[in-house]
Structure 1
Amino acid sequence: MGSAGTETHNGDAIAVALKAVRDDYVLRNPKSSAQLAQAAKSMPGGNTRTVLYYDPFPLAMARGEGQHLFDVDGHRYVNFLGEYTAGIYGHTDPHIREAVQNALANGVNLSAHNTLESQLAAILCDRIPSWDMVRFTNSGTEANLVGIALAKAFTGRSKIMVFDGAYHGSVIAFAGGASPINVPHDYVVATYNDPQGARELIAQHKDDLAAVLIEPMLGASGCIPADKEFLQVLREETEKVGAVLIFDEVMTSRLSAGGRQALLGIMPDITTAGKYLGGGMSFGAVGGRADIMGLMDPGNPKGIPHPGTFNNNVITMAAGIAGLTKVYTADVAVALTKRGDRMRDGLNALAREKNVAVQFTGLGSLMNMHPAVEPVKTPQQALGCDGRLRDLFFFHLIEEGIYQARRGLVALMLPVQQEDIDHYLAASGRFFDRYGDLLKG
């Protein structure tokens, strides 16, 4: 009875604290509120991208510069969200801007092969170890759809193994359960970071299994890294049964020039990617072994088609080339990963010092806040946290001039300076002090 009473009291206190910060948020942001009301006249709920919506209304940004965002009410924020990992170059990188301007000057929508697509393809195949060849798409979602199609065509099988908590795009999502708009593949859903369970399921479905599709770190479920042993088991077992192993490195490709596969030395058959690799423009890519990718050779009489009006659009091609050759070089990737590791270590040390039940999971420049005592290793543990405490952290940071995802995601951008990271650490410390009684677990 005493424990339940304590939980109720604590829950009430969280609700009171959250109402207070939300009320302050409403008072400070009347123009963002008005912007949503105006947008709702022509878009459902005033929204065209679900992840950006939150109650009572989302901030409306007027412009970005470097690492900063400016909302319609005149507030400035350090952007620690980095466009959900796509905005690694910041808002106004001069190399990206010059490349886009030059591409525009030479004409857009050229209706043909161009000289830029092969340049970007060669750069990417040199960086990603598993890519003998690559094809371009317009998003990570599309890259994963194409990767699945390739695996099914290559193996002649139908089943696709995915993992609880995974997000492979808007129509291949299993974070918090299967999305109602998922494409209707024949899925086998396994438990993330459970090597024995995965081994048994692969053996059970070996005759029908076309592919195993996995994020080397769960993104949408809270930056939960896959254990190396787990990924190694997937590599070994798929080879045994002739299934295709697909790494979705749309997020984790930033961890080194060659993604997490290069750091671990585990080579998938296909890798999907996207986000920042297109220089901040709409972009996706699917690449892999030459014998698999050869199915998309239009000269192959047994090949499969892959159209797409904007697959080779000159804006994205030019921005991607500039970004990877002039900005996000291999050395810069290493440095950003180290910077993120230091930030996450600093946040976890601060939480221990303040004796609060908060942890930051992730790898390199990607991390996520969880109000939890035990190490978060599975999506179920992340879902078990009190989401209101993440909301409280989000609105607290907004007050502090820091913008990140409501779900607790941080994705560092290159322009973010050490003084910005110091500010984030200090603001987090003030959050721990301000709400310490609610963060004891």
Structure 2
Amino acid sequence: MSGRNAMLEDALVEARDHYAAARPASAAQHAASLSVMPGGNTRSVLFHGPFPFTAEKGEGCVLTDIDGHQTVSMIGEFTAGLFGHSHPAIRAAVLRALDSGVNLTAHNRFEGRFAKLVCDRFPSLDRVRFTNSGTEANLLALATATIATGRRTILGFQGGYHGGLMTFGAATNPINVPHRTVVTPYNDVDAAVATARAHAADLAAIILEPMLGGGGCIPATGAFLRALRDVATETGAVLIFDEVMTSRLAPGGLQEATGVTPDMTTLGKYIGGGMSFGAFGGREDLMAIFDPRRPDAVPHAGTFNNNTLTMSAGIAALSEIYTPDVAVTHNANGDALRDALNALARKHGVPMLVTGRGSMMAFHFGHAVPRNAAEAGAMNQPLKELLFLDLLDRGFYIARRGMIALSLAVGAAEREGFLAAMDDFLEIRADVIRAAV
């Protein structure tokens, strides 16, 4: 092991040991779960070494674990927790739904109103249907495209995450649904257009996040989005924006902010008020295949698609809490935080970069801003673990992969506290970072 790698490994061993020693109750909880869940885990993204901590409760933006440690959550349930852990308007909405009954086996008074709020918000949505997750929404949008076009090939992009059953990583995900897929680098206009044209006769859909989420919070360039819009129109493919995460970044999502309107949009996460939620929608002619009044209607079932808890919470989310004005302010606060973090890196002379847009951002340790997931993945990953563990020790919780998704409950005091924690981290770990990159 080289001397510079040894410095980082020593720092990681120390940080892991400190984490483990401070969390005996979480260690015991994890050990007990090993006998009933593979790896003691049922949600891969939450696992980290030496073992994941177990939360006891959350209030506002503060999470308390079973060992009594309190941390400010800067990851906000990977964008689903936009309203914090305990927003009173969401709680009131859920109670209203409980008062009217949970399992009604019928249309309910919430769903139509919620659907109108969603359609009014996002430019591409003439019609919308609800699901229980963003994963379902993406699978149904892709199914819509293949049915409507009579084609089978899907164009996706490296680093794209479209739910647990459709991801485009460095290697093929063995549990991906068996669509015929072709994948090109994100933000590479020439490769995307050439691939779309090469498969034009069978190209059903082009699907992408207008900013990579799990792929490193890397925004698509305007040229990339416009090129995809043009080539989708040229080939007759359905352009799908996966805005499950990015819809929070402007009042009408990134499709509104960028001025590029897809044929279909998928949604999820925060829009259901923190309940299980997904939605897919788009042009009226595409969505009409699901109209049950048609003799040739395509069925779309789902016991909980219109569950009263999500429908009621979603109405509160869009009409009472995350109004367009709030969305603008919240994302401006995120932009300011990202700028301040990058300024701290320059102040300490360390090769750390924070990419993203608005209230979503991610840390990268390297010298050049990554343009795609491959470039982000080639940067130093162990340093992200060190950052994760050191920030937990300072009372702040980010994703193990270096991602932040600000909730509305993270106010000015918490943002200032986070900057102070980062300032301390960079001062103490500057030599380790410089040596490792």
Matches within 5 A, 1:162-201: 162-201=156-195
Match of 1:399 in 2: 393
Residue 366 (structure 1) aligned with residue 360 (structure 2): yes
**Secondary structure, aligned partner of 1:425:** helix
Once the 2 structures are TM-superposed, how far is the Cα of residue 302 of structure 1 from its aligned partner?
2.3
**Secondary structure, aligned partner of 1:157:** coil
Match of 1:64 in 2: 58
Residue 32 (structure 1) aligned with residue 26 (structure 2): yes
Matches within 5 A, 1:93-104: 93-104=87-98
Match of 1:323 in 2: 317
Once the 2 structures are TM-superposed, how far is the Cα of residue 44 of structure 1 from its aligned partner?
1.4
Match of 2:279 in 1: 285
Mapped partners of 1:197, 1:283: distance in 2: 34
Which of 384, 400, 423 is 1:429 aligned to?
Answer: 423
Match of 1:294 in 2: 288
Match of 1:3 in 2: none
Gapped regions of structure 1 (runs ≥ 5): 1-6
Q: CA RMSD in A?
A: 0.8
Matches within 5 A, 1:152-167: 152-167=146-161
Match of 1:4 in 2: none
Which of 216, 225, 229 is 1:231 aligned to?
Answer: 225
**Secondary structure, aligned partner of 1:200:** helix
Mapped partners of 1:210, 1:95: distance in 2: 41
Residue 303 (structure 1) aligned with residue 297 (structure 2): yes
Contact residue 176 and residue 383 of structure 1 kept, 8 A:
no
Mapped partners of 2:402, 2:265: distance in 1: 26
Contact residue 250 and residue 273 of structure 1 kept, 8 A:
yes
Once the 2 structures are TM-superposed, how far is the Cα of residue 335 of structure 1 from its aligned partner?
0.5
Residue 258 (structure 1) aligned with residue 252 (structure 2): yes
Mapped partners of 2:159, 2:42: distance in 1: 23
Contact residue 164 and residue 177 of structure 1 kept, 8 A:
no
Once the 2 structures are TM-superposed, how far is the Cα of residue 110 of structure 1 from its aligned partner?
0.6
**Secondary structure, aligned partner of 2:207:** strand
Amino acid at match of 2:81: G
Mapped partners of 2:2, 2:413: distance in 1: 40
Once the 2 structures are TM-superposed, how far is the Cα of residue 175 of structure 1 from its aligned partner?
2.8
Mapped partners of 1:103, 1:177: distance in 2: 43
Mapped partners of 2:36, 2:99: distance in 1: 33
Contact residue 165 and residue 177 of structure 1 kept, 8 A:
no
Which of structure 1's runs of 4+ aligned residues deviate more than 2 A? 175-178
Once the 2 structures are TM-superposed, how far is the Cα of residue 387 of structure 1 from its aligned partner?
1.1
More displaced 10-residue stretch of structure 1: 176-185 or 359-368: 176-185
Mapped partners of 1:12, 1:180: distance in 2: 35
Residue 14 (structure 1) aligned with residue 1 (structure 2): no
Match of 1:334 in 2: 328
* Deviations 1:200-256 (CA, angstroms, capped at 9, x unpaired): 111100000000001001111110111010010000011011110000000100011
Amino acid at match of 2:49: D
Which of 109, 119, 125 is 2:103 aligned to?
Answer: 109
Amino acid at match of 1:172: M
Mapped partners of 1:339, 1:327: distance in 2: 16
Mapped partners of 2:375, 2:23: distance in 1: 34
Gapped regions of structure 2 (runs ≥ 5): none
* Deviations 1:75-133 (CA, angstroms, capped at 9, x unpaired): 10101010000000001111000010111111111111111110100000000000000
Mapped partners of 1:300, 1:176: distance in 2: 42
Mapped partners of 2:162, 2:169: distance in 1: 10
Q: Percent identity?
A: 49
What is the TM-score of this pair, normalised by structure 2? 0.98
Match of 2:370 in 1: 376
Mapped partners of 2:77, 2:89: distance in 1: 19
Match of 1:420 in 2: 414
**Secondary structure, aligned partner of 2:255:** helix
Once the 2 structures are TM-superposed, how far is the Cα of residue 167 of structure 1 from its aligned partner?
0.5
**Secondary structure, aligned partner of 1:207:** helix
Once the 2 structures are TM-superposed, how far is the Cα of residue 377 of structure 1 from its aligned partner?
1.0
Contact residue 218 and residue 224 of structure 1 kept, 8 A:
yes
Once the 2 structures are TM-superposed, how far is the Cα of residue 162 of structure 1 from its aligned partner?
0.4
Match of 2:72 in 1: 78
Mapped partners of 2:231, 2:374: distance in 1: 25
Amino acid at match of 2:98: L
Match of 2:36 in 1: 42
Once the 2 structures are TM-superposed, how far is the Cα of residue 176 of structure 1 from its aligned partner?
3.4
* Deviations 1:247-293 (CA, angstroms, capped at 9, x unpaired): 00001000112100000110000000100000000000001000000
Count residues with an aligned counterpart. Answer: 435
More displaced 10-residue stretch of structure 1: 302-311 or 340-349: 302-311
Residue 207 (structure 1) aligned with residue 201 (structure 2): yes
**Secondary structure, aligned partner of 1:435:** helix
Mapped partners of 1:384, 1:196: distance in 2: 22
Mapped partners of 1:207, 1:125: distance in 2: 31
* Deviations 1:379-427 (CA, angstroms, capped at 9, x unpaired): 1111111211000000000000001100001000001111111111111
Once the 2 structures are TM-superposed, how far is the Cα of residue 177 of structure 1 from its aligned partner?
2.5
**Secondary structure, aligned partner of 1:410:** strand
Amino acid at match of 2:338: R
Once the 2 structures are TM-superposed, how far is the Cα of residue 39 of structure 1 from its aligned partner?
1.4
